[in-house]
Amino acid sequence: MTDKLIRFAILVSVFLYIGAARAGDNTVVRQSDQITGTDRIFTASGDDNTMANIGETTDTGFVALRAANPDINPWAIDSGSDVILPGAVIIPGNIPHNGIVINIGEMRLYDFTQSATTPNVYTIGIGRDGLTTPIGNYHIGRKTANPTWYPTPRMLAEDPTLKPVVPPGPDNPLGKYAMYLEGTQYRMHGTDKPWSLGRRASSGCIRLYAPQIDALFHHASVGTQVHIISQPVKAAVKDGAVYLEAHPDEDMADAYEYDYAMDFKVPPGTMKMILSTAGDLRSKLDWAKIRNVLLLRPGYPVRVSS
């Protein structure tokens, strides 16, 4: 199905479901008022002619690129085409600004270990359908450079070609560094499949690009708190204007991957959160812009007030 048909299906369903509540699914809370980072333009050329390649070159996620550039064919980008690299973000709110915050709702990791106000922001890959990355509060139990990978019995059953032990090296799915969440089987780690970043492709672990896991490994010590949340829709006030940032939910991300349409629902509490964040600026909200952001989910802050 074409992007145009997908957009039409989303457009129909958003009017049916906007404002609807789905209990327990991506509940939205009051957000931070801080926006950091900048959006950039990347000009496609040479081997950088697919979103997977551009993502690896620029450390940007695949779904994020698709959301920000819905009118570009992700697998055949004409040389000279300008591609938006979404880099501006609203820092998630109602969470401690320390340690590590993983927002699976936008497939990004916020590293507060160096600064409580201006975190390092990294692209991540997260768990696929049926093997989702868990939400909750954890801490780093141990760290390993050049880890050995031991596939689980499930993985070995699914892929009989896997070796029961994979030593360190370029073919190791954990990459060069692994950081283990205490009391769980989950890790933050590198990958031998950089095309999987910014996608729902793992067995629940959090994957990072090589330069980013290298930096995180050396910034975060054993015992560092790790908060895993899901906030696909965020709002902020900056310089007297209201901004809204909305990311594809799980169904929409899968639609980008497999090219199908889906029923689209706005996370419960979204409208209340926007009004609460706007405060005295409520009368200046542009509801047509808000509807478009919630519809298209471009994945970067958009000004939605006059």
Q: What is the DSSP letter of 44?
A: -
Q: Characterize the bridge pairing of strands 100-103 and 225-229.
A: parallel
Token code pair at residue 253: 């991300």
Token code pair at residue 231: 């906030």
Sign of CA dihedral 25, 31, 34, 38: positive
Token code pair at residue 286: 């542009």
Strand arrangement of the beta sheet that strand 302-303 belongs to: 233-238, 241-246, 302-303
Distance of CA 85 to the CA centre of its chain: 13
**How far from 272 is each of 30, 35, 40, 282, 306, CA to CA, in Å?**
9, 20, 31, 11, 19
Given the residues 205, 219, 227, 247, the one annotated as active site: 205
Q: Are 189 and 147 a contacting pair, CB within 8 Å?
A: yes
**How far from 304 is each of 70, 82, 256, CA to CA, in Å?**
20, 24, 25
Sign of CA dihedral 155, 160, 162, 163: positive
Q: Are 244 and 290 a contacting pair, CB within 8 Å?
A: yes
What amino acid is encoded at 148 in this protein? T
Q: Are 134 and 185 a contacting pair, CB within 8 Å?
A: no
Q: Is residue 12 helix, strand or coil?
A: helix
189 is catalytic: yes
Given the residues 97, 139, 189, 247, the one annotated as active site: 189
Q: Is 297 exposed, middle or buried (0-12, 13-18, 19+ CB in 10 A)?
A: buried
205 is catalytic: yes
Catalytic annotation, residues: 189, 205
